[in-house]
């Protein structure tokens, strides 16, 4: 089944630093890819998505490009803020167990 | 739409008691998931339903856990008897056709 591998956290950055959180996928086809974010005390919510190769998803200054050649969907932001401190999860579309296993995500801590 | 609705939001109970968590998925969604989140294990998929039918319950930790979905708009997760190690945040989520997953706000369970 389709699945993703994302980098372990925590990632600690200073405000206005550049952020990259790596995510690579394994799939038999070309699933949609998602980044979810979980702020403290809340459930996961969709941050951005890309539905096909070469698509770029973007939201709140975050971007991720669906790269078929490297099977990657890395999350980037040019200048992080303290309010971006959260846990980030990469996931493919699909209803198989592997696709739905979110794991621990990557915790981002942004310091002022 | 109100999103995925979970109740209660907080539950404190004593060891040995029965706990029932409730979920109303987004109208029209055909898949429903129950997750458990802890610091140690991250976000674990317990069970999921497609069209009200349980598809994969391999994540249910023990026979003390059971889940039902009597209709398309309601699901329950029951723990009987509860134990302190069941303390966690339990999320319900739903989706349509394997696309973006919408999470509820979670139920924070504390078993004393």
The pLDDT value given to residue A25: 86
Cβ A27 vs Cβ A2: under 8 Å: yes
How many Cα atoms are found within 13 Å in the side-chain-facing hemisphere of A101? Answer: 16
In this complex, which of A43, A94, A104 lies closest to B103 when CB atoms are compared?
A: A43
Q: Do A95 and B35 touch (CB under 8 A)?
A: no
In this complex, which of A43, A45, A94 lies closest to B98 when CB atoms are compared?
A: A94
Residue numbers in A near B100 (CB within 8 A): 32, 34, 46, 49, 93
- State phi, psi for A88 to the nearest 5 degrees: -115, 135
Q: How far is B108 from chain A (nearest CA, A)?
A: 10
Mutate to test the interface with A, among B99, B102, B104, B105 (most CBs of A within 10 A): B99
Q: Which residue blocks in chain A are alpha helix, DSSP H?
A: 97-100
The pLDDT value given to residue A1: 67
CB pairs under 8 A between A and B: 57
End-to-end CA distance of chain A: 41
Cβ A100 vs Cβ A92: under 8 Å: no
A105 burial via Cβ count (<10 Å: 0-12, 13-18, 19+): buried
Q: How far is A60 from chain B (nearest CA, A)?
A: 18
Residue numbers in B near A57 (CB within 8 A): none
pLDDT at A97 over 80: no
Cβ A81 vs Cβ A15: under 8 Å: yes
Q: Is A92 left (phi over 0), alpha (psi -120 to 50) or beta?
A: beta
Residue numbers in A near B45 (CB within 8 A): 97, 100-102
Cβ B18 vs Cβ B83: under 8 Å: no
Question: pLDDT digit string (tens) for B1-52?
Answer: 689 999 999 999 999 999 999 999 999 999 999 999 998 888 999 999 999 9
In this complex, which of B42, B58, B99 lies closest to A105 when CB atoms are compared?
A: B42
In this complex, which of B4, B93, B105 lies closest to A42 when CB atoms are compared?
A: B105
Of all helices (H) and strands (E), which one includes residue A100? helix A97-100
Query: CB pairs under 8 A, 24+ apart, for A41-48?
Result: A42/B105, A42/B106, A43/B4, A43/B91, A43/B93, A43/B103, A43/B104, A43/B105, A43/B106, A44/A89, A44/A102, A44/B43, A44/B91, A44/B93, A44/B101, A44/B103, A45/B103, A46/B100, A46/B102, A47/A75, A47/A88
Question: pLDDT digit string (tens) for A11-56?
Answer: 999 999 999 999 998 877 778 899 999 999 899 999 999 998 899 9
């Amino acid at each position: 089944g389709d699945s993703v591998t994302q980098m372990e956290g925590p990632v600690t950055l200073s405000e206005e630093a550049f952020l990259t959180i790596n995510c690579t996928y394994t799939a038999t086809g070309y699933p949609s890819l998602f980044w979810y974010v979980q702020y403290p005390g809340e459930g996961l919510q969709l941050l951005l998505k890309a539905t096909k190769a070469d698509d770029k998803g973007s939201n709140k200054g975050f971007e991720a490009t669906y790269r078929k050649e490297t099977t990657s969907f890395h999350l980037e932001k040019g200048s992080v803020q303290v309010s971006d401190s959260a846990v980030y999860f990469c996931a493919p579309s699909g209803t198989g167990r592997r696709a739905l296993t979110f794991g621990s995500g990557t915790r981002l801590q942004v310091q002022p | 739409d109100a999103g995925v609705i979970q109740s209660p939001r907080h539950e404190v109970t004593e060891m040995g008691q029965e706990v029932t968590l409730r979920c109303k998925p987004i109208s029209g969604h055909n898949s429903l998931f129950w997750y458990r989140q802890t610091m140690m294990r991250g976000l674990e998929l317990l069970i999921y339903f497609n069209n009200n039918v349980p598809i994969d319950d391999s994540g249910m930790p023990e026979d003390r856990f059971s889940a039902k979905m009597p209709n398309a708009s309601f699901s329950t997760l029951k723990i009987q008897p509860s134990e302190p190690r069941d303390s966690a945040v339990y999320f319900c989520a739903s989706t349509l056709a394997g696309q973006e997953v919408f999470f509820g706000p979670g139920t924070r369970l504390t078993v004393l």
